[in-house]
Amino acid sequence: MPDAAAPATIDLACYSTFVPPDPFEDHTGPFYFRIEGDARAKDSVHCVLPTESRHANYAGGVHGGAILTFADYALCLVAGRAADGGSNSSFAMTVSIAVEFLSAGRVGPSLEARGEPLQVTGRLAFARGSITQEGRVIALWSGVCRHVARDKAMARKAASHPALSGMPRQTVPAGFELLANASVYSRHIGPSYVRKEVDGATLVQPTLPHMCNSGGVLHGGYMMSFADSAVTRAAASVTGMAPSTVSFAAEFLAAGDALSPLTTRVEVPRHGKTLAFLRGLLEQNGRPLLSYSGTILLRPRK
């Protein structure tokens, strides 16, 4: 895909943030969007993420988890607004998403995303798009969302998800160590704990209220951010090389909450001198929430 022309300065006063508020997007963003014309048309939804120091990875670029979260945001905006015609009357939940990383993002310039709605059915919406920075294509994304009426989703939240005040203290199982030298972005989300395995790694992360979406369940971008950190940690542990994500695919199996820790076991079925192929399953209390796989580029450590 050729790079787009470098955009003019973005006036964020002309953009909106998500309503109702989304805890994880507010914590890691803010994220902005604007609908230009028919919400069902290609490139009509323009999404913006101003990047700051909290989005940084080990190398000082934009963390893969931040890019995955932005891709998830763009998918839900493009697919959701195509489903409701731009009225914000539907609530989009990611079913599956695939992201290909084409270039590293820099901290400072804004990331932008546009997309193309492909098909909308009575329950699902399909879309694809790209993420750019200063006219340079950073990543490609495609995915499927389930869309439901927003009033029903909010009523379900009130009935199914208790208030998070006075939550019980979450404990980490024995044998796990605090993840050392975590990236700025990972530390901003919350502490995680790791146990090295022969063929990969297992990570545990206590959940916090800011990890939820506006529907009161764990945000898809948060779960992918944790999974991406686990993938790169497992690749580094097994290969001894410096990892960076090339592609990431995820299927959402169930919703989680901020009442107990998440656990993910990452396996490295195969790796060579330059690439590693990984897969993992993210669980909460033994219940599978996210199945994912990734391809990792390996470089010698500096």
pLDDT at 161: 53
Q: Is residue 5 part of a domain?
A: no
Query: Phi, psi at residue 52, to the nearest 5°?
Result: -135, 180
C-alpha torsion angle, residues 267, 270, 274, 279 (rounded to 10): -30
Q: Which domain, by its residues, includes 28?
A: 12-299
C-alpha torsion angle, residues 39, 43, 48, 49 (rounded to 10): 110
CATH number at residue 144: 2.40.160.210
pLDDT at 89: 74
Q: Is residue 201 part of a domain?
A: yes
Q: Is residue 262 part of a domain?
A: yes
Q: Is residue 6 part of a domain?
A: no
Q: What is the DSSP string of 204-246?
A: EE---GGGB-TTSSB-HHHHHHHHHHHHHHHHHHHH-SEEEEE
Please give the model's pTM, rounded to 2 decimal places. 0.92
Q: Is residue 40 part of a domain?
A: yes
For residue 81, the surrounding DSSP H or E stretch is helix 64-84
Q: Is residue 165 part of a domain?
A: yes
For residue 101, the surrounding DSSP H or E stretch is strand 90-101
pLDDT at 158: 52
Number of domains in the chain: 1
For residue 147, the surrounding DSSP H or E stretch is strand 136-149
Query: pLDDT in tens for each of the 302 residues of the chain?
Result: 555 544 557 899 999 998 788 999 999 999 999 999 998 999 999 999 999 999 999 889 999 999 999 999 999 999 998 888 877 777 889 999 999 999 999 999 999 999 999 999 989 999 999 999 999 999 999 999 998 877 776 666 555 555 555 567 899 999 999 988 889 999 999 999 999 999 999 999 999 999 999 888 999 999 999 999 999 999 999 999 999 999 999 999 999 999 999 999 999 999 999 999 999 999 999 999 999 999 999 999 87
Q: Is residue 151 part of a domain?
A: yes
- Distance in angstroms (rounded) separating the CA atoms of residues 43 and 227: 29
Closest to 238 (Cα-Cα) out of 269, 263, 262: 269
Contact assessment for residue 104 and residue 61, using Cβ atoms and an 8 Å cutoff: yes
**For residue 190, what are its two tokens?**
């919350």
pLDDT at 167: 65
pLDDT at 301: 86
Query: Phi, psi at residue 97, to the nearest 5°?
Result: -150, 145
Q: Is residue 264 part of a domain?
A: yes
pLDDT at 216: 87
